[in-house]
Structure 1
């Protein structure tokens, strides 16, 4: 199974945890997971409520010594985040003490660990530097036209300012007002040509390859694909159009997008990843639905 769309209700391998199986009701995963080779019931395995802990016995009851009768036998105290019982587990009625909570392990999509925020940040810096150099070369003609138009205006403006003249300052040439917008469009085109094919095929750009991380689909082990990669990039790049028109407001949208790598749970997805259901993981072999490695 590579997709959940159109899958008949029943027990299937969980795409996010290939070693387990869960019940698909036709719209979503329900109930508790089971090991992949476990025998499955007819319907979903619903979680059983944890019974309340038994009342604490008083000294002298249930075999506890009375005060002064000797040391109390050492009891096992569960630590915060402990998932299973340890030595001295009191039995089926055991529950976490008040104030403690279970901390589930981080998810492993297709058996791979999530990429760290540091690796993702470093990879993005490498990619930004590479795109900047390529865009600088692609924009060389527009840069020449821009400085050729702005140079005389700048000299007139400095003369007007230094002479203390009154009235309107020299007007900015029309070409100098539109050329920055054209340069942003060229930058976006270079970025798209750099980012989209790599993510579509291998899930990696230059930065991600150097940091040994990759982008994978959350629902299947197939490649990200060109269409999904293009939509992912558009969610990152479209705010660039607001760099000039909206006084840099687009940068705030892109910063908010990137913060998802450290604030989103459980998959640490940026906005552009959540939009197309992709996730960034440590590079390695991906477990397919048939148990093969790719």
Structure 2
């Protein structure tokens, strides 16, 4: 088998009698990975689908969490005005020292409800069909690595938890940073484009074939 066109052996290798070495383990580039015969979803599609899902979850929060946010703002706005007046006079007091006990309870409740809404929106949909609203609109879906059937709620919950549970830590600033890293993690896996939460649940995100019916390819190549 001949080396790829234009490839040259490192200087001195031929003189030393070494067999030609290739810049990768095989004489030609590795073929594209196609889990169960389906193409991997592009990173642009995955990002767009995630943004659609974020908007959907925000709308759910506006309905369910809206009243609690309203109560929180009732306490927060007078405090904020007081801070602005103090700043104009050259003296300020941190918001944390002026916050009411109700604000602290409401902030915890809002975060817990927001997390549960995200869980209820994503995990059952991924476990059943592999698609949330965003993924359905973008024509992509989550599938298990080893089969083409349903993922199931347990693995869908595991996949969601590695990303969604960090919402509970938004108040300390850590949660949002970790979620951003998780969202960018498919970039670090050019082979399967698995996010870290995909690796935790052994899933991949693929393009849905035309007609929405995936090919029937069982493990081991049997049909």
User: TM-score, normalization: structure 1?
Assistant: 0.62
For residues 166 and 221 of structure 1, the distance between their equivalents in structure 2, rounded to whole angstroms, comes to: 60
For residues 209 and 148 of structure 1, the distance between their equivalents in structure 2, rounded to whole angstroms, comes to: 39
Pairing of 1:43-58 with structure 2 (within 5 A): none
Would the alpha carbon gap of residues 116 and 79 (structure 1) be closer, same or farther in structure 2, given more than 3 Å must change? farther
Contact 1:232 1:275 in 2 (8 A): yes
For residues 170 and 42 of structure 2, the distance between their equivalents in structure 1, rounded to whole angstroms, comes to: 29
Following superposition, the deviation at residue 185 of structure 1 comes to 1.2
Contact 1:217 1:224 in 2 (8 A): yes
- Pick the structure with greater CA Rg: 1
Tell me what 1:13 maps to.
none
- Within the candidate set 111, 114, 137, 1:187 is matched to 114
- Within the candidate set 99, 104, 112, 1:177 is matched to 104
Q: Unaligned stretches of 5+ in structure 2?
A: 8-18
Following superposition, the deviation at residue 226 of structure 1 comes to 0.9
Higher strand content, 1 or 2: 1
Deviates more, 1:135-144 or 1:157-166: 157-166
SS at match of 2:160: helix
Asked whether 1:110 is paired with 2:39, we answer no
User: TM-score, normalization: structure 2?
Assistant: 0.80
Could you say which structure has the greater relative contact order, defined with CA pairs below 8 angstroms and 6 or more residues apart?
A: 2
Tell me what 1:134 maps to.
60
Tell me what 2:12 maps to.
none
Would the alpha carbon gap of residues 161 and 205 (structure 1) be closer, same or farther in structure 2, given more than 3 Å must change? same
Q: Unaligned stretches of 5+ in structure 1?
A: 1-49, 51-75, 82-94
Higher helix content, 1 or 2: 2
For residues 214 and 263 of structure 1, the distance between their equivalents in structure 2, rounded to whole angstroms, comes to: 20
Deviations along 1:122-162, one digit per CA (max 9) or x if unpaired, are 11111111111111211111111101111222233233333
For residues 230 and 146 of structure 1, the distance between their equivalents in structure 2, rounded to whole angstroms, comes to: 30
Would the alpha carbon gap of residues 216 and 165 (structure 1) be closer, same or farther in structure 2, given more than 3 Å must change? closer
Pairing of 1:233-252 with structure 2 (within 5 A): 233-244=160-171, 246=172, 248-252=173-177
CA RMSD after TM alignment: 2.6
Corresponding residue pairs, total: 202
